[in-house]
Structure 1
Amino acid sequence: MAKTNNNKKKLSPEQRDELLKTLKARFEKNMKRHKGIEWAKVQTKLEAHTDKLWSLHEMEITGGEPDVVGHDQKTGEYIFYDCSTESPKGRRSICYDRKALESRKEHKPENSAIDMATAMGVELLTEEQYRELQKLGNFDTKTSSWIETPADIRKLGGAIFADFRYDKVFVYHNGAESYYAVRGFRGSLKV
């Protein structure tokens, strides 16, 4: 499992340049995800927010393949989601949150989705965001992703995840302490 770089939340100039190059290539290859958005404006925003670049780097090195999926007209922020075909490889085999992790008596996973997302500076996709993502392509056809769980479900010990099967988005429940080799999480980030 890929480790996040928690020691320093700053990229070297080489890492920054390589990330921007990767993001630009992905942006240009997948124009249907962000119609009407210009890369030059996105890059200007990214260069002004190095903390967000660091978070995008974390998304990238854990297999998320982040890409621009929208632009918030009110705030001027660009919205990135993990757009890897399957749930990011470097974020699988994790339970939902810290409480779930601590509740396991044996065979504990290495981490939780909420803790990893927080460390990376991103948020888990909500159910609505997950459904929006699926309009841009077919994601999680062989894997699944934890999504933001409503407090009333979490209070009862559950958590929700989603996937795409039979041309439909399915949202399911599981015990928050469960973890599987094919379940990770997808993040969102506003820049």
Structure 2
Amino acid sequence: MAAALTNSFSLLRCSCVIGSLAATKRPLPPLSFSLFRAPPVSIQSKRCTRLISASIDEEASARAAAASVDSGGPTIFDKIIAKEIPSTIVYEDEKVLAFRDINPQAPVHVVLIPKLRDGLTQLGKAEPRHSVILGHLLYTAKVVAEKEGILDGFRVVINNGPGGCQSVYHLHLHILGGRQMKWPPG
């Protein structure tokens, strides 16, 4: 089993290198696949390996968060709202708080949260009574994008549940911009 995983990982790493070479319009090197020897590791390959590793860590984190979602205890976002954990706040009003993500995925990466969770742990749990705060969150995303100078191009992401890699069960929006966004996103 371990050998099969190593081999498929080597092929995946190799496909990352080939994809990056093809994108730069450089000629592709001759391919030689060996089940006993991994292909040479390039800088691009190391980057792909890190992305794969980060993705696996993100998935594990999401599964762990989903397992403890019903504990009812305060989330890290509740602690940020209470100012128990420091954050770089970029916007705040009576209903929402926006702050810089500590692990930015774009030059501008702001997390926007409602100050009152009110059972809204994820978008999939939204009820008709939440429509006012959901609308306010989306409008505030526009205000934050304007304030951050990315109104001409930004993305709003809401991760929902373990399959969506949600790692904090307090509804939150990621506002990303400052670079060209790609499609498909992930």
Same fold at TM > 0.5: no
Larger radius of gyration: 2
Q: Which structure has greater strand proportion?
A: 1
Q: Which structure has greater helix proportion?
A: 2
**TM-score for the superposition, normalised by structure 1:** 0.27
**TM-score for the superposition, normalised by structure 2:** 0.27
